[in-house]
Amino acid sequence: MKRTFTFIMVLSIMALGLAVAGPRTSAGPSMQEQAQKAVKLPPAVAQAVKANCPGAVIDKMDVEKEGGIALYDFEFKAGRGEIEVAEDGTVMDIATIVALKDIPKAAAEAILKAAAGAKLGQLERSEIRAEIVKTGEKGTIVKLAAPKHVYEAELIQGEKRGEVQVAPDGKIVEGPKWGADEEKAEGMGEKEEAGEKEEAEEAGEVKAAAGVNLKVLPPTVLEAFKKAYPKAVIRGASKETEKGVTYYEVESVDGKMNRDLLYTAAGKTVEVEEAIAPGALPAAVAKALDKAYPGYKILKAEDMLKDGQKLFELEIQVNGKKMGVTLDPTGKIIQ
């Protein structure tokens, strides 16, 4: 989803009366309650999100201004994509996560050419319903007679991240654009909203979103997390006990990567889950799914490292029914 970088604030795990997934065990007010107190959304915006994305779980919300018009950009969990809504409730853009096979041939070929050997990450199909036309500094919302569609691909090359936007006919709309330009723009946005941003730094530079209680995590866990993911922001922290053993769960975001971790009290990593785009699954996994679950649709995909073993944990829909399935990189179905 194309964005400007006049950044005002970021809120994590926002709730608008939609389903919100909270930590398995928590103390004090829930993140949902804290988020609701943090900002009051215009009723028209809340209604537009509910009407267009029923049942979606909000992962993050950005508020930006363009031409004096406030734009609310919501990102959802479980592969539900994004939606951008203007302050008057006009839906500007809806983005859904897709697989490469679902993209028009011309657009898919253009994406692969632009990638130039880089790995493809998340793929999105944006339906642009309205645009802002500026006259001087003032903007006016103009609804399109017919929606425009753009396909956006995340590009991954080692530690570098980039993106490219392509029209259905294969024409490059924007990019390929790699890390430096995007990071510079984001850095400018962060400076502009200094003093208003919702991240708080606690426990020796560990970053956390507003409302997250880091006191539930032992210093050993915080130190292990900071050492492994120095730029990540903690968006959820909780404690749970299984079979007499206490574990600490950390929900985090690192750039565009959503990552959940499970630690022991000593700071040892037990489990790591990273959200991935369905199109980024190994060919062997996709082939196994095609054979075992004809006509399946991936609702959520995670790359999981558990006890040293790499696995792919998926939520799929088959014949209208949702189910979970876990596979190893060779395509072997574990459960």
Q: Each residue of 139-169: pLDDT tens digit? A: 899 898 889 999 999 988 877 888 889 999 9
- What average pLDDT score do residues 197-204 get? 41
Confidence of residue 14 (pLDDT cuts 50, 70, 90): very low
Last residue within a domain, chosen from 192, 208, 235? 192
* Residue-level pLDDT at 18: 42
The answer on 308 and 254 residing in a single domain is: no
Q: Which CATH number fits the domain that encloses residue 256? A: 3.10.450.360
Mean of per-residue pLDDT scores for the chain = 79
* Residue-level pLDDT at 265: 92
The answer on 26 and 162 residing in a single domain is: yes
Distance, in Å, from the CA atom of 60 to the CA atom of 77, rounded to the nearest integer, reads 9
More confident position, 255 or 85: 85
Residue 207: pLDDT above 60?
yes
Q: The pTM is what?
A: 0.46
* Residue-level pLDDT at 21: 35
Last residue within a domain, chosen from 192, 215, 250? 192
Which amino acid appears at position 202 of this protein?
A: E
Strand partners for 317? 297, 322
Cβ neighbours around 331 below 10 Å, total = 19
Beta-sheet strands, E only, within the chain: 7-12, 58-66, 69-76, 82-86, 91-97, 119-135, 138-157, 160-166, 172-178, 199-202, 206-209, 233-242, 245-254, 257-264, 269-275, 297-306, 309-318, 321-327
- What average pLDDT score do residues 211-223 get? 89
The answer to which of 25-29, 47-51, 94-98, 168-172 has the lowest mean pLDDT is 25-29
Whether 185 maps to a domain, the answer reads yes
* Residue-level pLDDT at 1: 57
Strand partners for 10? 62
Residue 37: pLDDT above 80?
no
Confidence of residue 307 (pLDDT cuts 50, 70, 90): confident
Confidence of residue 223 (pLDDT cuts 50, 70, 90): very high
The answer on 108 and 42 residing in a single domain is: yes
The answer on 305 and 221 residing in a single domain is: no
Confidence of residue 8 (pLDDT cuts 50, 70, 90): very low
The answer on 320 and 225 residing in a single domain is: no
**Residue pLDDT, tens place only, 97-140:** 999 899 999 999 999 988 888 888 889 999 999 998 877 778 89
Whether 65 maps to a domain, the answer reads yes
Whether 43 maps to a domain, the answer reads yes
* Residue-level pLDDT at 29: 43
Residue 182: pLDDT above 70?
no
* Residue-level pLDDT at 43: 92
189's enclosing H/E stretch is: helix 179-192
Whether 134 maps to a domain, the answer reads yes
Confidence of residue 39 (pLDDT cuts 50, 70, 90): low
**Residue pLDDT, tens place only, 232-263:** 899 889 988 888 889 999 998 887 778 899 99
Counting the structural domains of the chain, the total is: 3
Spell out the residues 6+ positions from residue 164 whose beta carbon is closer than 8 angstroms to its own: 111, 114, 115, 152, 153, 155, 172, 174, 175, 176, 177
The answer on 257 and 175 residing in a single domain is: no
Q: For 50-54, which contacts have Cβ atoms below 8 Å and span 24 or more sequence positions?
A: 50/16, 50/17, 50/18, 52/83, 52/91, 52/94, 53/18, 53/80, 53/83, 53/94, 54/18
The answer on 219 and 88 residing in a single domain is: no
Confidence of residue 82 (pLDDT cuts 50, 70, 90): very high
| C-alpha of 155 from chain center | 15
* Residue-level pLDDT at 241: 87
Whether 334 maps to a domain, the answer reads no
- Asked if 54 and 76 touch (Cβ cutoff 8 Å), the reply is no
Whether 312 maps to a domain, the answer reads yes
Residue 302: pLDDT above 50?
yes
The answer on 205 and 71 residing in a single domain is: no
The answer on 311 and 182 residing in a single domain is: no
The answer on 169 and 34 residing in a single domain is: yes
The answer on 207 and 133 residing in a single domain is: no
* Residue-level pLDDT at 188: 43
Q: Write out the residue range of the structural domain in which residue 292 sits.
A: 281-327
The answer on 124 and 12 residing in a single domain is: yes
* Residue-level pLDDT at 126: 92
The answer to which of 120-129, 189-198, 229-238, 261-270 has the lowest mean pLDDT is 189-198
Last residue within a domain, chosen from 143, 167, 192? 192
Cβ neighbours around 334 below 10 Å, total = 11
Whether 245 maps to a domain, the answer reads yes
* Residue-level pLDDT at 205: 67
* Residue-level pLDDT at 326: 92
Whether 332 maps to a domain, the answer reads no
Confidence of residue 310 (pLDDT cuts 50, 70, 90): confident
